[in-house]
Amino acid sequence: MSNVSEERSETVFDDFKPAYTEAQAKVEANRCLYCHDAPCVQACPTSINIPEFIRKIATDNVRGSAKTIFDQNILGMSCARVCPVEVLCVGDCVFNEMGVPPIQIGKLQRFSTDRAFDESWTYYEAGPDTGKSVALVGGGPASLAAAHELRRLGHACTVYEKRPVLGGLNTTGVAPYKMKADRSVEEVQWLLSIGGIEVKTGVNIPDDVDFAALEKQHDAVFLGLGLGPDTILDLAGKELPGVQGAVEFIEGMKLEQLDLKDVKRVLVIGGGNTAIDAVREAIGLGLPEVTMVYRGREEKMSGYHHEWDAAKQEGALAAWQTQPVGFAQEGGRITGVKCQKMDDDKKLIDGTEHVLAADLILLAIGQSKLAHLVDGLDGIETKWGRVVVDEHGATGRPGYYAGGDCINGGKEVVNAAADGKRAALAMHDYLMNKGGSDA
């Protein structure tokens, strides 16, 4: 697996939420009420025992604290940085009902898991060899969580990833003020240190290796396909230089050094979390004027409002109830977006045509789905571009399981980690009791 280049645009960013010192962590841990039947645990998709790991910080058992986290979520280090805790565990802290600042669970989780990484603590080893083998398609959080759990249970694993690096959006898509690509790669290497997880990068499934070949080599298959390329506005001029998908832009910024010297004005089309990330990253890269263009009202945007509040504090502008209807150009280069205002019913208002000037236009209106990659596999159902699974992550094709964005359309890293572990436990049951041939 390749490491990321040291020459990356993302390195200019500082942490939006600086790490706790030991003294700060202890003070915060001692504020916790250690609730029985704690609502913060119920809000966590991986069901980390939050009061327990916090109590261990308060009693100087940081090693045990980290293990409590990793027992439930092997990607606990990255999730401590990237989880939207404001709408998950922290948002459900009982202190919110008491007019008291909630416990900073994410920062406490980061304190423990960072210590584990910095001091090279290890907790797990591969289980006794079962003679079974699993293919994991995609190298993102869902596949990595599944592979680690499967290795602990003794199954051989091979991860097939089309990119040169593993980690999925943790490596290529997470906002750098939350986590940079090299930290994600460090997490992957730590996870792989359990041994027995083979990694094949630069392999595009099913083009390079088809599913029939996977079935011959392995006893089960996990689909961690993720999402596809950015959705592009089907307007004249979409192919011009200066029009780019936001996810593509973010990946470039995280993995390489971008040339933005001629960019003064940026428009980000969309109102979701990717749009907000792109806005904040463009501002952080020093681009003078960054505007989010959204067809709805501010209070109706789908992105997290606490993230947008931060963007506004950093200088983000917005054009609300504004619909792109074309691209303005001059000399084969983009110069802006032709727009019309929209009413509350999202209907275009006649006579409101105008142009928003821009040197760079980032499209954050969604990503394509990849469920078509499994078309033709009997028993696997897709719906709205997603792979359909049962409560255990199983598809209708024996031995095939799935998790992450390809089943939920695009949620959080913590959801993918939960999906991967859930599917791994179900695959173990399948391999040991129902299917798979002896190796």
Identify whether the C-beta of residue 256 lies closer than 8 Å to the C-beta of residue 153. no
Angle CA 405–196–77, to nearest 5: 50
**What's the Cα-to-Cα distance from 98 to each of 38, 88, 95, 174, 267, rounded to whole Å?**
15, 18, 5, 33, 41
Q: Distance between terminal CA atoms of the chain?
A: 26
| Residue that is written with structure tokens 């029939």 in the block | 212
Residue 206, SS3? coil
Identify whether the C-beta of residue 147 lies closer than 8 Å to the C-beta of residue 228. no
pLDDT at 434 over 90: no
In this prediction, residue 2 has a pLDDT band, given cuts at 50, 70 and 90, of low
**What's the Cα-to-Cα distance from 337 to each of 196, 235, 350, 354, rounded to whole Å?**
51, 10, 17, 8
Residue 8, SS3? coil
Angle CA 341–347–352, to nearest 5: 25
Residue 367, SS3? strand
Tokens of 362: 């980032």
Provide the pLDDT for residue 438.
45
Give residues with Cβ within 8 angstroms of 210, minimum separation 6.
Answer: none
Provide the pLDDT for residue 332.
87
Cα–Cα distance, 204 to 201 (Å, whole number): 8
354-357: strand order across its sheet = 322-330, 333-341, 354-357
Strand 382-383, strand 386-387: pairing: antiparallel
Provide the pLDDT for residue 1.
61
User: Taking residues 5-31, what's their average pLDDT?
Assistant: 95
pLDDT, one tens digit per residue, over 390-428 is 999 999 999 999 999 999 999 999 999 999 999 999 999
Looking at residue 111, its amino acid is F
Query: What values do phi and psi take at 381, rounded to 5?
Result: -100, 140
Cα–Cα distance, 383 to 358 (Å, whole number): 37
Question: Would you tell me the crossing angle of helices 105-118 and 181-192 to the nearest 10 degrees?
Answer: 60
Strand-pair partners of 200: 160
Cα–Cα distance, 426 to 393 (Å, whole number): 7
Provide the pLDDT for residue 169.
96
Identify whether the C-beta of residue 410 lies closer than 8 Å to the C-beta of residue 367. yes
pLDDT at 437 over 50: no
Where do the domains of the chain lie, and which CATH numbers do they carry? 9-118 (1.10.1060.10), 133-162+202-228+368-433 (3.50.50.60), 243-363 (3.50.50.60)
pLDDT, one tens digit per residue, over 75-134 is 999 999 999 999 999 999 999 999 999 999 999 999 999 999 999 999 999 999 999 999
Strand 133-137, strand 220-223: pairing: parallel
pLDDT, one tens digit per residue, over 211-261 is 999 999 999 999 999 999 999 999 988 899 999 999 999 999 999 999 999
pLDDT at 42 over 60: yes
pLDDT, one tens digit per residue, over 141-189 is 999 999 999 999 999 999 999 999 999 999 999 999 999 999 999 999 9
**What's the Cα-to-Cα distance from 319 to each of 107, 294, 329, 344, rounded to whole Å?**
34, 6, 20, 14
Give residues with Cβ within 8 angstroms of 347, minimum separation 6.
Answer: none
Return the percentage of the chain with pLDDT > 70, whole number: 98
Query: What mean pLDDT, rounded, does the chain reach?
Result: 96
